[in-house]
């Protein structure tokens, strides 16, 4: 009886854990639907800014300064919560591979997400640790903190390059994207129009404003992509865990039923033996 009760207790606990995980999976699913709307809109914004920059640089190529990347800053977008597999560990692995392949020494690292930066506590290269976004509404808060630290870094460094590492949903791999200095891939483009754009400020002033808008927009987009990939990974991870718990609960139920059958058989044997003893007497 004690063994069967223990099995029933364990099965009840497993069912409760499964219900909690199902709720977490549902929340992740709802978050992906919200993110889908935000991400589509942000992709359109980034594409529009890049198109404007391409047209501008086609007529004013000299306004884009020569890149000077004396200080390398790497922004790693991890997760604030768990249940998403190797989401954070893969960022660190790809970072080390990239630094080694490109012979980059003494970079500065900015880690976003508690589940990420706990793995980097003893890393002397870690300059900034920030809490990540749980939901899409928190992206703005995190982004503002990133911008503040980027601004401080630009003040303290003569020249700065910014490279972002994040998990991509479509490729299901870690993407390494250098976003500052921007527009390097747009230089040398042929003009799409016969006349230059009509501007009301100097080309340098316009480019500076364009860069500010672009960095803010591209970081928004990348953070949405990372958060989307995180929630999809969490959904898959939790779904696998729930299936495993269901199988375990079914196994415990079968074992409990088998013990109950043994108890019934023992009870019947006791009744039969008692009846036989009564008849003999």
CATH number (domain holding residue 225): 3.40.1380.10
- State which H helix or E strand residue 170 sits in: none
**Which residues touch 3 (CB under 8 Å, ≥6 apart)?**
259
pLDDT in tens, the chain (281 residues): 578 788 888 888 999 999 999 999 999 999 999 999 999 999 999 999 999 898 888 888 888 877 666 788 999 999 999 889 899 999 999 999 999 999 988 899 999 999 999 989 889 999 999 999 999 999 999 999 999 998 888 777 666 889 999 999 888 899 999 998 888 877 666 777 777 788 888 989 999 899 999 999 999 999 999 999 999 999 998 999 888 888 888 888 888 888 778 777 777 777 777 765 655 55
Q: How many domains does the chain have?
A: 1
User: The tokens of 128 are what?
Assistant: 């900034």
pLDDT of residue 153: 81
Can you spell out the DSSP letters for 209-235? HHHHHHHHHHHHHHHHHHHHHHHHHHH
In a domain, 255, yes or no: no
In a domain, 21, yes or no: no
In a domain, 38, yes or no: yes
**What's the length of the chain?**
281
pTM: 0.85
Residue 80 DSSP code: S
In a domain, 60, yes or no: yes
Euclidean distance between CA atoms 138 and 101, whole angstroms: 35
Euclidean distance between CA atoms 177 and 164, whole angstroms: 5
Domain that holds residue 210: 28-187+200-235
In a domain, 244, yes or no: no
pLDDT of residue 126: 95
Euclidean distance between CA atoms 111 and 164, whole angstroms: 10
In a domain, 252, yes or no: no
Euclidean distance between CA atoms 134 and 156, whole angstroms: 31
In a domain, 273, yes or no: no
Beta-bridge partners for 177: 164
Task: Name the burial class of residue 75, with classes exposed (0-12), middle (13-18) and buried (19+) by CB atoms within 10 angstroms of its CB.
Answer: buried
Euclidean distance between CA atoms 174 and 251, whole angstroms: 38
Residue 208 CA: distances (Å) to CA of 20, 53, 205, 259, 261:
49, 11, 5, 76, 79
In a domain, 195, yes or no: no
């Amino acid at each position: 009886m004690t063994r069967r009760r223990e099995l029933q207790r364990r099965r009840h606990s497993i069912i409760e854990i499964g219900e909690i995980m199902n709720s977490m999976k549902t929340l992740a699913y709802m978050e992906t639907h919200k993110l889908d709307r935000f991400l589509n809109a942000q992709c359109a914004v980034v594409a529009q800014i890049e198109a404007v920059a391409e047209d501008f640089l086609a007529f004013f190529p000299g306004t884009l300064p020569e890149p000077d990347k004396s200080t390398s800053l790497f922004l790693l977008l991890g997760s604030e919560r768990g249940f998403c597999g190797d989401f954070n560990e893969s960022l660190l692995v790809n970072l080390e591979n990239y630094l080694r392949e490109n012979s980059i020494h003494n970079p500065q690292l900015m880690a976003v997400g508690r589940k990420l930066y706990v793995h980097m506590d003893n890393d002397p290269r870690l300059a900034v640790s920030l809490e990540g976004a749980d939901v899409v509404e928190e992206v703005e808060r995190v982004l503002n903190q990133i911008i503040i630290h980027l601004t401080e870094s630009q003040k303290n460094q003569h020249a700065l390059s910014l490279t972002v590492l994040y998990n991509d949903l479509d490729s299901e791999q870690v993407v390494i994207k250098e976003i500052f200095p921007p527009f390097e891939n747009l230089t040398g483009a042929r003009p799409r129009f016969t006349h230059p754009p009509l501007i009301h400020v100097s080309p340098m002033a316009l480019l500076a404003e364009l860069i500010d808008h672009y960095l803010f927009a591209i970081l928004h987009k990348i953070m949405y992509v990372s958060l989307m990939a995180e929630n999809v990974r969490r959904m898959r991870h939790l779904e696998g865990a729930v299936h495993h718990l269901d199988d375990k609960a079914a196994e415990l139920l079968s074992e409990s039923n088998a013990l109950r059958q043994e108890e019934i058989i023992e009870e019947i044997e006791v009744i039969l033996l008692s009846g036989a003893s009564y008849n003999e007497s």
